[in-house]
């Protein structure tokens, strides 16, 4: 129970401060911390992160921190990508999904390290073709491996959207919630995925939401550079452990 509460709180805090990191942290907590099977963890993470991000998006919208044009340009193709990725996910072997996840953890560290906190040269969320391609790709990853894609969305919104960090985080949370919902729907089209027990899901959502509220409150007091360095260090640890786990999983499935 302690692992569940602490893990869920950290997930919420990461979403609150950085607008990303929810699923990147959720899946390792479920698989490595609680021993949840990979496919169950991936499907369940869509519910957990989607619910937490949805609550955060409502908070951001009340403060005017959700950019509607970016929401449309990234969100519509993201829905298509998430549905396609979710439909393919149940058919893919566990080792492939975890391999893709491990690569995404490295990508998350890279994009977080390189993300600029200054406005880009594309005010109003443009150029729109790049925004739509990015939205579709991130949506597909959401459906396939259960990641919300915030670690890619926030840098993309900073780079192509001309948004400040607060608006990029708020818009990212809304897009994450949409992608998670559609990704789960895509998975339900095929063989119904196993999900965690409702009580455990609810515990994650509640604890994560409380963590998000705290993260959003302290985001204005935590130096952005310090938060990003801590997040990158955590991602590096997850990447190494996930890579090792994936090699063992692939070997076991090959021999089996």
Rg (CA), the chain: 17
- For tokens 């490295």, the residue is 106
CB 55 within 8 A of CB 113: no
- For tokens 């027990």, the residue is 197
CB 14 within 8 A of CB 4: no
pLDDT in tens, 137-182: 888 887 888 776 677 777 777 776 667 777 887 888 898 888 888 8
Mean pLDDT of the chain: 77
CB 114 within 8 A of CB 159: no
Tokens standing for 78? 């993201």
Residues 6+ away with beta carbon under 8 Å from 76: 132, 135
Chain centroid to Cα 51, Å, comes to: 12
3-state secondary structure of 222: coil
CB 26 within 8 A of CB 45: yes
Q: What is the pTM of this model?
A: 0.76
Euclidean distance between CA atoms 36 and 44, whole angstroms: 10
Per-residue pLDDT at 117 exceeds 50: no
Map out the domains of the chain as residue ranges.
2-255
Q: What is the pLDDT of residue 248?
A: 65
Tokens standing for 90? 């149940």
Euclidean distance between CA atoms 227 and 138, whole angstroms: 23
Q: What is the pLDDT of residue 84?
A: 87
Chain centroid to Cα 105, Å, comes to: 10
Q: What is the pLDDT of residue 131?
A: 77
Euclidean distance between CA atoms 52 and 26, whole angstroms: 11
Q: What is the pLDDT of residue 74?
A: 84
Euclidean distance between CA atoms 232 and 112, whole angstroms: 7
pLDDT in tens, 48-96: 888 888 888 898 899 888 888 888 888 888 888 888 888 888 888 888 8
């Amino acid at each position: 129970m302690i692992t569940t509460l602490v893990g869920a709180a950290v997930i919420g805090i990461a979403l609150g401060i950085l607008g990303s990191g929810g699923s990147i942290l959720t899946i390792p907590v479920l698989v490595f911390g609680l021993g949840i099977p990979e496919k169950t963890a991936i499907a369940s993470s869509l519910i957990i992160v989607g619910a937490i991000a949805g609550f955060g998006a409502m908070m951001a919208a009340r403060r005017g921190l959700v950019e509607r044009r970016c929401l449309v340009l990234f969100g519509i193709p993201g829905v298509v990508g998430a549905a396609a990725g979710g439909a393919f996910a149940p058919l893919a072997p566990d080792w492939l999904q975890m391999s893709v996840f491990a690569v995404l953890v490295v990508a998350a560290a890279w994009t977080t390290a390189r993300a600029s906190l200054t406005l880009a040269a594309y005010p109003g969320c443009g150029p729109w073709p790049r925004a739509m391609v990015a939205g579709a790709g991130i949506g597909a990853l959401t459906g396939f491996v259960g990641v919300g894609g915030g670690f890619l969305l926030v840098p993309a919104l900073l780079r192509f959207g001309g948004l400040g960090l607060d608006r990029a985080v708020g818009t990212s949370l809304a897009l994450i919630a949409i992608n998670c919902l559609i990704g789960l729907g895509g998975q339900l089209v095929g063989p119904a995925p196993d999900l965690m027990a409702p009580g455990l899901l609810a515990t994650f959502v509640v604890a994560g939401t409380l963590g998000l509220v705290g993260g959003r409150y302290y985001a204005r007091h935590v130096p952005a550079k310090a938060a990003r360095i801590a997040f990158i260090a955590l991602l590096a640890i997850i990447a190494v452990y996930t890579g090792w786990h994936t090699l063992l999983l692939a070997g076991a499935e090959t021999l089996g």
